[in-house]
Chain A
């Protein structure tokens, strides 16, 4: 007997409004090419046909085993803190211009004190903070990222493309809260009475 074991990425989504659902996938379907889409809601023929046409693998209403730590092997899991308070993992501080054609792949967190030029790429699994403007492309899967990007940049946070127009004028913080991408300015504006 031949067996194989896989780890796959699952994207869970609730089906409420058919139109909104299709609009969302119309915009983002490229990011889910390698995902299994689990749809919670009433099974729908039209949606099925749409997803098949985009060649997206999907199932309806599937309860998946979530990862549970095995206490006998692993040390006890610390109580989860708020995402932003998580301890840094291998923080790297780099003061180097990322030029066109250069690719920076980092497993931990990164503080970049220089700019990312058009054609330069940063791929990072941890938290990312960039002090100067980003013209290139960013793939970040960390807790949050803090950056300011020009209209040329391509920013992808947890496999979802972030619209640059929200990142343009100031240093912004991008984080994932309850599966939603939230963008807030880092410096609050003074409000005059």
Chain B
């Protein structure tokens, strides 16, 4: 039986889809079978980040509403044989989602894969509620800024009241990923530091991802940054994926900004 993980944030644009793509591929590279499901019905993005843009024939709604088997709709990634992808519909909207159908879909995915990762839509509407409904765990992605933290806080509150696991009296495990950390700004005190964020949200930390310009290019090319050995964000996603696979990986300080040699010399003279 696989584990269902919902990637949520509340606020849009914080990096949910990027995180989903990267940890999906990271887990697959760790030798576990993994399927990433785009739950953002009506706005398909995840296929692009995984480099599977024009290969979508059948999507999730076809599987739920028509007689298309899951095997027909799943797309195997070119980058890892362990990674599969199930696309969101672009023509329908979130009103087609229905709890019973989603439960059936997720249950059958759980049988075939070690990890089922659901990319939640932004916001806290019905699309979001359906994503978290059958999740065993949730990964909350935040940016170090107040609006992102408040929206995540709200999203966690809804998760704690509406998920099926909570209704059964169990707990949904929640983990935090702090995305887009700018070490320079953290050190100068302009950006919230991780300890403050952890104190406000009070959930365990899964990883800190530094801001990295290479992510934009990686997304445009459809090659998740986790494949890039020289990227700091890619390495951070690699560590997060390993932690999800129950490996013990030490936390790396991504908040200390290493000043260059010239910068240090400049500082002596100013």
Contact = CB atoms under 8 A, between A and B. Distances in A.
Interface of A: 97, 99-102, 114-115, 117-119, 135
B154 A100 contact: yes
B143 to A, nearest CB: 16
Contacts of B149: 118
Looking at chain B, what size class is its interface with the partner chain? 10 to 19
Contacts of A102: 157
A119 B148 CA distance: 13
B202 to A, nearest CB: 6
Contact of B157 (A101, A114, A118, A135): A101
Interface in B187-225: 199-200, 202
A143 B149 CA distance: 34
Residue from B153, B154, B200, B202 with most neighbouring chain A CB atoms (10 Å): B153
A115 B146 CA distance: 16
13 contacts: A99-B154, A99-B156, A99-B157, A100-B150, A100-B153, A100-B154, A100-B157, A115-B199, A115-B202, A117-B200, A118-B153, A118-B200, A119-B150
Residue from B146, B156, B157, B158 with most neighbouring chain A CB atoms (10 Å): B157
Contact of A135 (B154, B156, B158, B200): B200
Per DSSP, are chain B's interface residues mostly helix, strand or loop, or mixed? helix
B150 A118 contact: yes
Given A100-B150, A100-B154, 6 more contacts: A99-B157, A100-B151, A100-B153, A101-B153, A115-B202, A119-B153
Contacts of A101: 153-154, 157-158
Top 9 nearest A-B pairs (CB, nearest first) are A100-B153, A99-B157, A101-B154, A100-B154, A99-B153, A100-B150, A117-B153, A119-B150, A102-B157
A140 B146 CA distance: 26
A71 to B, nearest CB: 48
A135 B151 CA distance: 15
Nearest to A117: B153
Contacts of A97: 202
B156 to A, nearest CB: 6
Contacts of B146: 118
B265 to A, nearest CB: 39
B152 to A, nearest CB: 8
